Amino acid sequence: MLRTKVLSLVARSGPSRLMSTATKLTTVEVNDKTGIATLTMCRAPVNGLNLELLKDLKTSIDEIESNKSRGLILTSSNATIFSAGLDIMEMYNPEKERIRAFWTQLQEVWLSLYGSSVPTAAAINGHSPAGGCLLATSCEYRVMLPKFTIGLNETQLGIVAPKWFMSSFLSVLPQRQAERALNQGRMFSTEEALQIGLIDETATSKEEAVEKCAAFLGTFARVNPLARALTKQQFRAADLQQLENERKDDLEKFLFFINQPAVQKGLGIYLEGLKKKAKK
Ligand SMILES: CC/C=C\C/C=C\C/C=C\C=C\CC(=O)SCCNC(=O)CCNC(=O)[C@H](O)C(C)(C)COP(=O)(O)OP(=O)(O)OC[C@H]1O[C@@H](n2cnc3c(N)ncnc32)[C@H](O)[C@@H]1OP(=O)(O)O
């Protein structure tokens, strides 16, 4: 497959350039006027984060970073789902080498998105459970459409969100609310998320959400970019460093946990429930 880290121009539409690393599961469109890049996840049916989508996300984030875009807006091509979180098929009866690569890639994506020197915002145009919420809370600003849900529901699946998932959540919510929501595996409606501060604004369409994200990113237009980036970095450095220091341990913990027969059984039951619901 043709995969190059060099930015390539593959299409033009209006004032935006569609740039791509020939990936299939993400697209990056840069607005020529604002310099803001919109990174869209497009893995059918639900933007489940599998190894390939994670690789494409990482490539796209790196591309936006190295292209010195003025901002990054993360969104989805699906009309009702931002991301269904980690693809459970990657964790259920996993293949030994692939699951290692999968978790390592998830760590990479989080380190690049949460640690991005570019200002970031999420246009949450659909449901955003677990890993979807992780991506959204790794950004600096969130605009969400009504009648969807967002949250870290891991405990509902019998799994435990690792510390760095909590770091993103805690960068948005006060400890008391974050702890309670995580322990409950609570999913918030758009209205509840706004009330608690898990999202910053609502919008009635994806276009409006993207516009509101762009307006937020525009607030940095007159701020010195280096001063802004270093300030953001200082806020996030301890969280990022913690994962950097514990990456191997974190991977081994994940592998140990996910391979427990009780966890596998729970994931199997959960998947079955999802499939039954989908057939109805
Ligand atoms: C001490 C600590 C140490 C280490 C840490 C250890 C462990 C941590 C490990 C993991 C952390 C995981 C975080 C995660 O992200 S887990 C994933 C959580 N996601 C969910 O619970 C979402 C489940 N999905 C839904 O709720 C819904 O599908 C929806 C709201 C996103 C969309 O609803 P729809 O009605 O529009 O669509 P469906 O009909 O339900 O689904 C269509 C299709 O897609 C399949 N599917 C949905 N979600 C997933 C998924 N996350 N993974 C895989 N597949 C998914 C669904 O089964 C349907 O498939 P079929 O069409 O039936 O084939």
* Pocket residue to mutate for ligand 1, from 274, 276, 280, most atoms within 8 A of Cβ: 274
Residue 85: left if φ>0, alpha if ψ -120 to 50, beta else—which one?
Answer: left
The whole-angstrom separation of Cα 159 and Cα 264 is 10
Q: Is residue 2 part of a domain?
A: no
CB of 166 sitting under 6 A from ligand 1: no
pLDDT in tens, 17-37: 776 555 689 999 999 999 999
pLDDT in tens, 182-230: 999 999 999 999 999 999 999 999 999 999 999 999 999 999 999 999 9
Q: Is residue 108 part of a domain?
A: yes
Does ipTM exceed 0.90? yes
- Specify the pairing of strand 36-41 against strand 71-76: parallel
Q: Is residue 1 part of a domain?
A: no
Q: Is residue 129 part of a domain?
A: yes
Q: One of 25, 49, 86, 135 is an active-site residue; which one?
A: 86
DSSP helix/strand/coil, 202: strand
| Cα 77 to ligand 1 centroid, rounded to whole Å | 17
CB of 23 sitting under 6 A from ligand 1: no
| Cα 22 to ligand 1 centroid, rounded to whole Å | 27
131 is catalytic: yes
Q: Would you call 68 exposed, middle or buried from its count of C-beta atoms within 10 A (0-12, 13-18, 19+)?
A: exposed
Residue 205: give its domain's CATH number. 3.90.226.10
Residue 90 binned pLDDT confidence (cut-offs 50, 70, 90): very high
Show the domain range for 128.
8-279
Beta strands in 125-270 (DSSP E): 128-129, 142-144, 149-151, 188-189, 201-202
Is 60 exceeded by the pLDDT of residue 128?
A: yes
CB of 126 sitting under 6 A from ligand 1: no
The whole-angstrom separation of Cα 58 and Cα 32 is 23
Q: What is the pTM of this model?
A: 0.94
Residue 280 binned pLDDT confidence (cut-offs 50, 70, 90): confident
Total count of domains within the chain: 1
- Contact yes or no for 60/25 (Cβ under 8 A): no
Task: Return the residue whose CA atom lies nearest to atom 50 of ligand 1.
Answer: 87
CB of 237 sitting under 6 A from ligand 1: no
Find all residues with CB under 8 Å of 138, minimum gap 6, and list them. 110, 113, 114, 120, 168
Q: Is residue 45 part of a domain?
A: yes
Residue 247: left if φ>0, alpha if ψ -120 to 50, beta else—which one?
Answer: alpha
Residue 6 binned pLDDT confidence (cut-offs 50, 70, 90): very low
* Pocket residue to mutate for ligand 1, from 41, 43, 46, most atoms within 8 A of Cβ: 46
Q: Is residue 3 part of a domain?
A: no
Q: One of 85, 115, 131, 151 is an active-site residue; which one?
A: 131
The whole-angstrom separation of Cα 86 and Cα 106 is 9
Q: Is residue 215 part of a domain?
A: yes
